[in-house]
A and B are shown apart, each in its own frame.
Chain A
Amino acid sequence: DVKVTQSSRYLVKRTGEKVFLECVQDMDHENMFWYRQDPGLGLRLIYFSYDVKMKEKGDIPEGYSVSREKKERFSLILESASTSQTSMYLCASRSGTGGLGEQFFGPGTRLTVL
Chain B
Amino acid sequence: AQSVTQLGSHVSVSEGALVLLRCNYSSSVPPYLFWYVQYPNQGLQLLLKYTTGATLVKGINGFEAEFKKSETSFHLTKPSAHMSDAAEYFCAVSDQQGNTPLVFGKGTRLSVIA
Contacts and interface: CB of A to CB of B under 8 A. Distances in A.
23 contacts: A33-B101, A35-B104, A42-B104, A42-B106, A43-B44, A43-B104, A45-B101, A58-B101, A94-B98, A96-B98, A100-B98, A101-B32, A101-B34, A101-B94, A101-B98, A101-B102, A103-B102, A104-B46, A106-B43, A107-B43, A108-B41, A108-B42, A110-B41
Interface of B: 9, 32, 34, 36, 41-46, 49, 51, 90, 94, 96, 98, 101-102, 104-107
The 6 A-B pairs with the shortest beta carbon distances in the complex, nearest first, are: A42-B106, A105-B43, A101-B32, A105-B44, A43-B104, A107-B43
A40 B101 contact: no
A7 B47 CA distance: 25
B104 A100 contact: no
A100 B43 contact: no
A94 B100 CA distance: 11
B42 A102 contact: no
A33 B94 CA distance: 14
